[in-house]
Chains A and B, each alone.
Chain A
Amino acid sequence: MSTLQETTDEVLRLAATHFRVPKEQLAPDDDFFKKLGINSLQALDLLTRLEQHFHIELPDYELAGVSNFRALAERIQSRL
C-alpha cells in the first residue's frame, strides 16, 4: 500500500500533467483551486481522474472543505 507521501506525489503529478502546470510549481499545501485555476466543473474532472488513477470511489461530499493537495491525498489514502 502506498504511503501518504507517495499518494500526495501521485496527486501532484496527475494534476500537473492534466492541467499542464510544471510539477515543481506545485506543493502539497497549495490550494489547488487557486494554483490550478480551476472551477467546480474542472474539479469534478480532477475527481474523476483521481478515481480512475487510484481505482477508488471518492464521494464528492468528502471533498467539502478540502482545497489543498495534501488533504486531497489524505482522503484518497483513506480509500486505498
Chain B
Amino acid sequence: MTSFRGKAISWTLSSGVIELVLDRAPCNEIGTETLAELEEFVTALKNMQEGAHALIISSARKEGFCAGADLRELYRGMETVSAAERLPRVRKFLERIHAVMNAIDSSPLTTIAAVHGVTFGGGFELALTCDLIIADKMARFCFPELRLGLIPGFGGIPRLKRDLGNGVVRDLLLTGRSINAAKAQAIGLVSQIAAEGEALRVARATAAQLQKFDRATASAAKRFVKPIPYDELRQEIDLFCELFTRPAVESGLRKFVESTEALPYLP
C-alpha cells in the first residue's frame, strides 16, 4: 500500500519520498485512533522503504505539528475504568506508541520532521524520532508533562538526551517552558529554519538532495551516528507508569481538561 487516507493521518509514496501527514483536529493530539493508524503506517513503511530514500512527517493543521497526547481521551479513559484497570491500559498504550516511535527512529530511510506552530509533548517526541527537524520560524517546542505530574512518555527524554546536552534537557524538562525555532536551532535541535509556511517545501528540497546518495551508505551512516536508546526507553515507560498511579496525575489531568484559562498549555 503506497497511499492511505485515514481519519487522523495520511501517507503517500512518490518519487522515492514517503510523506506522512498528520491531520486530526484540533492539533493532531495522539489518542487511540491516531495510534492505530500510525501502527498501520509503520507496517506499511516496512514494505514501502525498499522503494524510498526519505520520509517526511508534517501536519496539515494550521495550529501546529502536534500538541501531544490526547489528554482529554486519557482523562475520559481514567474516568470509565477502575483504578486497577488504569495502569495496564496506560502501559499497553505506551508499549504500542513506543513500538511506532522506535520503528520510525530506526527506519533505514533518512527521516525529516517538517514542523510548524505547536510541537509539544508527544508531538515533540515524534519529531525527535526523525533524523532532521526542519522548522517553520513560528514553531515552538515544549515538554509540559511535569505540569500533569508526569514525564514525557513517548520516548522523549532518552531521545533528547541522545541528541542534546544534559543541561538543555533539564531546562526543557524541569521548567516545562516552550522555546522557539531560533532557540531550538541554536541548541542543535533544529537543522534548518524555514519561512512561515515553507517548512514542508524545504523538507521536500532536502529529500530531493538525499536521493543523490547511495541508500546503503546513508543507512549505514545513520545506524553509526544514531543509536536507539532501547534500555532508557524501557526505563521511561516504567517511570511513567510509576508516576501515573499518583493522585497528582488525575488532578492534573482534570485541571487541564476542565480549564477555562486562556493559557491552558502553560505550565
A67 at the binding interface (Cβ < 8 Å): yes
Known: A43-B262, A44-B140, A52-B137. A61 touches B118 (CB 8 A): no
Q: Nearest-CB distance from B68 to chain A (Å)?
A: 13
Known: A44-B178, A52-B180. A61 touches B266 (CB 8 A): yes
Known: A45-B138, A48-B140, A61-B176. A40 touches B263 (CB 8 A): yes
What chain B residues lie within 8 Å of A41 (beta carbons)? 27, 63-64, 117-118, 265
Q: Is the CB of A60 within 8 A of B180?
A: no
Q: Nearest-CB distance from B168 to chain A (Å)?
A: 13
Q: Is the CB of A39 within 8 A of B177?
A: no
Interchain Cβ contacts within 8 Å, total number: 57
Q: Is the CB of B265 within 8 A of A40?
A: yes
User: Chain B interface residue count: which class?
Assistant: 20 to 34
Number of interface residues of A (CB under 8 A): 19
Specify the chain B residue showing the minimal Cβ separation from A55: B182
0/1 per residue, B177-190, Cβ < 8 Å to A?
11111110000000
> SS class of chain A's interface: helix, strand, loop or mixed?
helix
Q: How far is A48 from B27 in the complex, measured between Cα atoms in Å?
A: 18
B264 at the binding interface (Cβ < 8 Å): yes
Interface positions, chain B 132-168, Cβ under 8 Å from A, are 137-138, 140, 142
A80 at the binding interface (Cβ < 8 Å): no
0/1 per residue, A15-51, Cβ < 8 Å to B?
0000000000000000001000001110111011101
**B262 contacts which of A40, A47, A49 (Cβ < 8 Å)?**
A40
What chain B residues lie within 8 Å of A59 (beta carbons)? 175, 177
**A61 contacts which of B64, B183, B267 (Cβ < 8 Å)?**
B267
Q: Nearest-CB distance from A54 to chain B (Å)?
A: 12
Q: How far is A32 from B208 in the complex, measured between Cα atoms in Å?
A: 43
Instruction: Please list the residues of chain A having a beta carbon within 8 angstroms of any beta carbon in chain B.
Output: 33, 39-41, 43-45, 47-49, 51-52, 57, 59-61, 63-64, 67
Q: Can you pick out 24 interface pairs between chain A and chain B where the beta carbons lie within 8 Å of each other?
A: A33-B262, A39-B262, A40-B265, A41-B27, A41-B63, A41-B64, A41-B118, A41-B265, A43-B262, A44-B140, A45-B138, A48-B140, A48-B181, A49-B138, A52-B180, A52-B182, A57-B180, A57-B183, A60-B263, A61-B175, A61-B177, A63-B263, A63-B266, A67-B262
